[in-house]
Amino acid sequence: MLRGAEQWLWSYLTRERHSGRISPGQPLHACIAVCDHFEPLHHTDKAGALRAIGDWQAAWPELVKSHPDSGGRGPRHTFFFPVEQYDADLLAPVASLCAQTGSEVEIHLHHDNDTEASVTKLLLDGVRDLASHGLLTRGSDGRPRYAFIHGNWALDNSRPDGRWCGVSNELSVLKRTGCYADLTMPSAPDPCQTRTINSVYYAREDGCAKSHNTGVVVEAGKTAPLREKDDHLLLIQGPLGLNWGRRKWGLLPRLENGDLTGANPPTAARARLWLELCPRVKNGAPWVFIKLHTHAGIPKNYRALLGKAAQQFYQGLAEMARSTPGFHYHFVTARELVNLVHAAEDGQTGSPSDWLDYRYSKPPVLA
C-alpha cells in the first residue's frame, strides 16, 4: 500500500476525469511550471552552494536557448529560495541568471514553533531581501508580491505532530504579507498532504490547522471575487495519482507527485500522465496547469535537470506537439502560471502566451 494514501486516495479514485481528446478543433495547451525548492546549502557549505549555482549558470542558458516551446520560448525555472538562509552572495548570481534566461525567484520558508508575529517578520524580511535584488513582482501599490512554497510541506500548521510551522492562521498571514498564491502541494507521501488534490482552488483561513484541506475550485465567471478576500488564498497543486507505467516489483503502481529527481526525471511518458491529472479552470480555456517541483540545489537532482534527461524530455515534448495536432506546450514561471489561472477564471481564451503578465507583471530584474 502507498504510504499516506489514506489522505488522498479516495479523492483520486472519485475525481472527475479530463477528456483525452486533442485535435485542431479541440486544442489543449499544457502550461508547465517547474517550482524548485531551491536549497543550495542543503548538506553543504557556502562554497558548495556557490558551486551548485555555478553549474546552473554554466548549463541552463544553453538549454533555454536550444529547446523552444510552442510559442518559441525556452524552458523556464522558478527558484523558490529559502529566505531564512538569505545570503546576498548566493542570491545575486541567481538573480543574474534569471535576468539572462527569463527564470524567476519566489519565496520558500522553513520555520518551526513560530507565532503569527514571528512568521510575519520572517516573511517581510524575506520579501525585503529578495526585492533588493530586483526580484518579485509588484502590486498596484508598488509593494512586492510573491508566490510561496512552505518548507517541510507544513503549510498552515498542517503536520499532525505540529512541527515545522506552529501558525494555524498562516494563510491569512501569507495574504497580508503580499502572497498571491501558494504552490506547496502535493506533499504525498508526507502526512501534510491535503484531501483536495489536482486542483486550483481558493482556501479560506478558518483559524484552524490545515485550512487548505478543502476549498472552492476556481471556475470561469464565478470565483474571481474570492481572490480579493483577505481570508482566501489561491492554491495551485501539482499532479498526484498512480503511475501504472512505472511499477514497483513489476506489480504495484508507483506514486506520481510531480517531483523531478535524479532517480525520476521528467519524461514524455510522465508528461502524458500529467495531462490527465493536472487541473484546469472549470469551464475555462483548454489550458492544463502542470505545476512540478524539485529540489534542484542538490547535485543528484540538478544533474538530471541540466543534462541528458532534460534534453530528452524537451525533445519528447516537441515530438508530442509534432505528432499530435492541437497539442501545444508552454514553459512558464510560477508567476505566469498564476496569471494564466486568473485569465482563464476571467474567461480569457486563445493562446496562454497572450496572458503571461495578466495580473502580476514581470519583476524589475526582467522588465
pLDDT at 2 over 80: no
Q: What is the mean pLDDT of residues 86-100?
A: 98
Is residue 18 very low, low, confident or very high in pLDDT (cuts 50, 70, 90)? confident
CA distances from residue 361 to 6, 104, 234, 246 in whole angstroms, order as listed: 40, 12, 18, 39
Which residue shows C-alpha cell 489561491? 234
| C-alpha to C-alpha distance for 256 and 309, rounded to whole angstroms | 18
Which residue shows C-alpha cell 542543503? 42
Provide φ and ψ at 329, rounded to 5°. Answer: -135, 145
* Segments forming the whole domain that contains residue 245: 22-355
Of all residues in the chain, what percent carry a pLDDT higher than 90? 92
Examine residue 366 and state whether it is found in any structural domain, yes or no. no
pTM passes above 0.85: yes
Examine residue 7 and state whether it is found in any structural domain, yes or no. no
Of all residues in the chain, what percent carry a pLDDT higher than 70? 99
Indicate the pairing of strand 104-109 with strand 144-150.
Answer: parallel
| Measured distance between the N- and C-terminal CA atoms of the chain, rounded to whole angstroms | 49
How many domains are there within the chain?
A: 1
Q: What pLDDT does residue 139 have?
A: 93
**What is the tens place of the pLDDT at every residue in 226-259?**
999 999 999 999 999 999 888 888 788 999 999 9
Q: What pLDDT does residue 15 have?
A: 85
User: Does residue 130 contact residue 81 with C-beta atoms inside 8 Å?
Assistant: yes
Examine residue 268 and state whether it is found in any structural domain, yes or no. yes
Grid coordinates given for 242: 498512480
Examine residue 10 and state whether it is found in any structural domain, yes or no. no
| C-alpha to C-alpha distance for 64 and 81, rounded to whole angstroms | 21
pLDDT at 96 over 90: yes
- Residue 82 CA to chain centroid, in angstroms? 15
Examine residue 3 and state whether it is found in any structural domain, yes or no. no
Instruction: Out of 96-110, 246-260, 295-309, pick the least confident.
Output: 246-260
Is residue 3 very low, low, confident or very high in pLDDT (cuts 50, 70, 90)? confident
User: Does residue 163 contact residue 154 with C-beta atoms inside 8 Å?
Assistant: yes
CA distances from residue 269 to 16, 46, 276, 320 in whole angstroms, order as listed: 21, 37, 12, 10
| C-alpha to C-alpha distance for 235 and 128, rounded to whole angstroms | 23
User: Does residue 352 contact residue 73 with C-beta atoms inside 8 Å?
Assistant: no
Grid coordinates given for 209: 490547522
Q: What is the CATH classification number for the domain harbouring 97? A: 3.20.20.370
More confident residue, 251 or 360: 360
According to DSSP, the residues that pair with 204 across neighbouring strands are: 232
- Residue 279 CA to chain centroid, in angstroms? 13
* Residue 23 DSSP SS3: strand
Q: What pLDDT does residue 367 have?
A: 86
pLDDT at 210 over 90: yes
* DSSP per-residue codes, 111-179: --S--HHHHHHHHHHHHHHHHTTT-SEE-TTS-EEEEEEEGGG-GGG-STT-TT---TTHHHHHHHTTE
**What is the tens place of the pLDDT at every residue in 143-169?**
999 999 999 999 999 999 999 999 999
Question: What single-letter DSSP state applies at residue 262?
Answer: S
Examine residue 272 and state whether it is found in any structural domain, yes or no. yes
User: Does residue 220 contact residue 346 with C-beta atoms inside 8 Å?
Assistant: yes
Examine residue 2 and state whether it is found in any structural domain, yes or no. no
Q: What pLDDT does residue 245 have?
A: 85
Provide the mean pLDDT of the chain.
Answer: 96
Give long-range contacts, CB 8 A cutoff, 24+ apart: 43-51: 43/298, 46/87, 46/89, 46/90, 49/90, 49/297, 50/89, 50/90, 50/93
Examine residue 45 and state whether it is found in any structural domain, yes or no. yes
